[in-house]
Amino acid sequence: MLKDVMTAVENGKFKEIESLVKSALDAGETPESILDSMIETMGIVGDRFQRNEVFIPEMLIAAKTMQKAVGVLSPLLVGAGVGAKGKLIIGTVCGDHHDIGKNLVALMMESAGFEVIDLGVDVSPEKYVETLKANPDCKIVGLSALLTTTMEAMEATVKAITEAGFRNSVKIMVGGAPITPEFAEKIGADAYASDAGSAARKATEIISAA
């Protein structure tokens, strides 16, 4: 069942994906295992793109297919108590349009009890600062980047938040495929997480410690 879901995502079977995910759930697969298998598949698609075996349209349709599948899984992943842990602003940094990972992190944060303000993709440092001004009770800002070329924008965002005077009132968490704990430390972020599940755990940890 998982193999069918993976093949459908890899080949961009947009129309079939919902029923395949439902069949996998009916067969006893957990939402988490289905999600993990699709994340693995996107890695495979990325490797094929790098080897010039697939191109942007194929990568895009695989992404859209995964997003449709996530739509089926979302209600099963979101838990009770949404918002109880406070506000969290999240977005993909300026110049970067990848949002599947960021959306999963947002979903897991919501499921962990945060009220999530999702700014979407290609978010400028100014937009983060503006949103912080409108939400001074925000506890965490999450920055996602998938391109090595947009890591710089992540650094610029941390700098803008610091210069706007919010550095003592919010924690900044960063993540995304090219991001490392060393880079997070170098740019002055408070936390790094490698995946959506650990991002939610880490977020809970840092607000409890604050």
Q: Summarize as ranges the residues that interact with ligand B1M (CB under 6 A).
A: 39, 42-43, 45-46, 49-50, 56, 59-60, 63, 90, 95-102, 104-105, 142-144, 146-149, 173-178, 193, 195-196, 199
CB of 45 to ligand B1M, least distance (A): 4
Per the CB < 8 A criterion, the answer to whether 99 and 126 are in contact is no
Q: Which is nearer to ligand B1M, 26 or 33 (CB)?
A: 33
Return the DSSP state at 132: H
Per the CB < 8 A criterion, the answer to whether 148 and 178 are in contact is yes
CB of 102 to ligand B1M, least distance (A): 5
The DSSP code sequence of 37-72 is HHHHHHHHHHHHHHTTSS-HHHHHHHHHHHHHHHHH
Q: Which is nearer to ligand B1M, 20 or 141 (CB)?
A: 141
CB of 156 to ligand B1M, least distance (A): 16
Q: Which is nearer to ligand B1M, 119 or 193 (CB)?
A: 193
Per the CB < 8 A criterion, the answer to whether 154 and 96 are in contact is no
CB of 23 to ligand B1M, least distance (A): 22
CB of 90 to ligand B1M, least distance (A): 6
Where would I find the beta strands (DSSP E) of the chain? 87-92, 115-118, 138-144, 171-175, 191-192
Q: Which is nearer to ligand B1M, 138 or 173 (CB)?
A: 173
CB of 78 to ligand B1M, least distance (A): 16
Per the CB < 8 A criterion, the answer to whether 91 and 144 are in contact is yes
Per the CB < 8 A criterion, the answer to whether 43 and 56 are in contact is no
In terms of DSSP bridges, do strands 138-144 and 115-118 run parallel, antiparallel, or are they unpaired?
unpaired
Q: Which is nearer to ligand B1M, 24 or 107 (CB)?
A: 107
Q: Which is nearer to ligand B1M, 12 or 26 (CB)?
A: 12
List of residues 6+ apart from 205 with CB closer than 8 A: none
